[in-house]
Each structure stands twice: as C-alpha cells, then as structure tokens.
Amino acid sequence: MYVKICGLSEPEHVTAAVEAGADAIGFVLTESPRRIDPERAAALGRLVPGHVLTVGVFRGEDPATVRAAALTAGVRAVQLHGRHPHADFTALKDLGRTLVRAVDSSADLRCGAFDEDLLIVDAPRPGSGLPWDWAAVRGRPTGRWMLAGGLSPANVAEAVAAAAPWGVDVSSGVEVAPGVKDSALIRSFVAEARRAA
C-alpha cells in the first residue's frame, strides 16, 4: 500500500513521516490553511531522502505559475486538484516531474487519461477531512490511484476494504487542529495503512 502524507509544514513532521515509512509527502502550495511558500517547501524537502516523493500541491493555478513554484520548491512531483484541462498536464510534461491528477469521484477515473502518472480520488472539498462514500468508487478507477478524503488512523482499514485503492493519502486525519500535524498520528496512520494492505 502506497502511503502519502499531505500538508506538512514543520521539520519534525516531515521527519516523522519519513521515519514512519511514508512513500510520499505533500507540501500545499495553493490557497489553504496548510499553505507554505515554495522556499519553505525547498528547505523541508532537503530533509527528505531520495526514495520519498516530495509533492507540490496546486489547485487552479496556470501551468506557468505551477512550473515556477515547483522549480523553486524543488519538488519531485506536481499534484493538480480540480478540473485542470488535459492541456495543463501536457504543458507540464517537460518539467520531468511525476504528475498527479487529484479529482472527485465524478471525474474521469482512468489514471493516465490526462497523461498523469498517479491519480488521487478525493472528497469534493480537498483537505476538508470529511469522509465520503469510498465504496462507491470501488472498481471504477484504473491504474495507480490513491484514495483520499476523511481518512484517519481509525478508519483507513475500513476505507481500504471499501474501495480497494493502490494507495492512500491523508492530511486532516493526522492533525490535532486545522493545519497542525501530529507525529504520533502520522506514525499511526502509516502503520494502520500498511496493516490494511
């Protein structure tokens, strides 16, 4: 089970996620209580070994803005939320970064349909922490896809059993307040996700 921890902003939580065995960590570079600037993401990214994917998270920005922020942040992947057109992914292909398309369950759920490398199927409001009907997508997404939206250490096993994803992505469920991560919750989430696989 591939595990991504999203919305990190403090060195101790980056280190906790890496030491717990997360496969990917996300820095939110768009409007959000978890937003950090690309320079801070670059500093945090220097704490991350090469086998862990660092992901810059965007929503609605044009490709030129995404490109500039991703290069400053030094992230190895770019995650575009919402209804970005196929052309936005095409425009970012030559960045040489892993491209991640994050959508709700009403979108095209074929990973690769927009030339992306990874797909995230999320709640309608990303980062809201609200669980949704995970079982409703079972069997619909294809390829390498992660389930997100309202996951936590307490429910990730149930979510994985319901939707049978390739991976999982969490943010609010490893926080003690909006935007405030907790190292123990991060460790617990990674352990529970791996146990669920």
Ligand X SMILES: O=C(O)c1ccccc1NCC(=O)[C@H](O)[C@H](O)COP(=O)(O)O
Catalytic residues: 6, 122
Q: What is the CA radius of gyration of the chain?
A: 15
Q: How many residues sit in the footprint of ligand X (CB under 6 A)?
A: 25
* CA torsion, ordered 134, 135, 136, 140, to nearest 10 deg: 100
Residue of 81, 97, 101, 181 that binds ligand X (CB under 6 A)? 81
CB atoms within 10 A of CB 31: 11
Residue of 61, 104, 116, 122 that binds ligand X (CB under 6 A)? 122
Rounded distance between C-alpha atoms, residue 164 and residue 166, angstroms: 7
- Site stretch for ligand X (CB under 6 A), options 9-17, 23-31, 38-46, 87-95: 23-31
Judged by CB under 6 A, does residue 28 bind ligand X?
Answer: yes
Rounded distance between C-alpha atoms, residue 65 and residue 152, angstroms: 32
Tell which positions 82-121 bind ligand X, by CB under 6 A.
none
Rounded distance between C-alpha atoms, residue 75 and residue 70, angstroms: 6
Rounded distance between C-alpha atoms, residue 76 and residue 66, angstroms: 13
Residue of 61, 88, 104, 169 that binds ligand X (CB under 6 A)? 169
> Between residues 35 and 94, which has the closer beta carbon with respect to ligand X?
35
What angle, rounded to 10 degrees, do the helices at 38-45 and 63-73 form?
40
Q: Could you tell me the smallest distance in angstroms from the CB atom of residue 127 to ligand X?
A: 2
Residue of 127, 141, 153, 167 that binds ligand X (CB under 6 A)? 127
Q: What are phi and psi of 168, to 5 degrees?
A: -135, 155
> Between residues 169 and 192, which has the closer beta carbon with respect to ligand X?
169
Q: Could you tell me the smallest distance in angstroms from the CB atom of residue 186 to ligand X?
A: 12
Rounded distance between C-alpha atoms, residue 135 and residue 158, angstroms: 10
- Site stretch for ligand X (CB under 6 A), options 65-73, 89-97, 126-134, 155-163: 126-134
Q: Which residues bind ligand X (CB under 6 A)?
A: 6-7, 26, 28, 30, 32, 34, 57, 59, 81, 122-123, 126-129, 148-151, 169-173
